[in-house]
Amino acid sequence: MCLAIPGKIESVDGRVAIVDFGGVKREAIVDLMEKGTIVPGTWVLVHTGFVIQTLDEKEALETLEAWREVLANTPMPED
């Protein structure tokens, strides 16, 4: 099972994009995508530091909402 997280491209510099994951910004490599398809404002899925797919905004927001529901209903481990 793999886990990919949706985020929004903030900027691209060569092979590296800055992706905003709801306020948390991280670098991701864009090498797996067709050149020129990853631009600021694009919603993407990121897996292990690589952009692996583009998403439309509706799909990205639905996925983020599903994650919120899962996390809200997941018991936290006790210390």
* Extents of the domains making up the chain: 5-72
| Fold entry, domain 5-72 | SH3 type barrels. (2.30.30)
Whole-prediction pTM: 0.84
Instruction: Check residue 68 and give its pLDDT.
Output: 87
Query: By three-state DSSP, how is residue 15 classified?
Result: coil
Q: Residue 40 class from Cβ within 10 Å (0-12 exposed, 13-18 middle, 19+ buried)?
A: exposed
If the chain, 79 residues long, is cut into consecutive pieces of 10 residues, what is the mean pLDDT of each piece?
88 97 95 96 97 95 89 84
Instruction: Check residue 79 and give its pLDDT.
Output: 66
Instruction: Check residue 37 and give its pLDDT.
Output: 95
Q: Identify the CA nearest to 8 among candidates 59, 70, 68.
A: 59
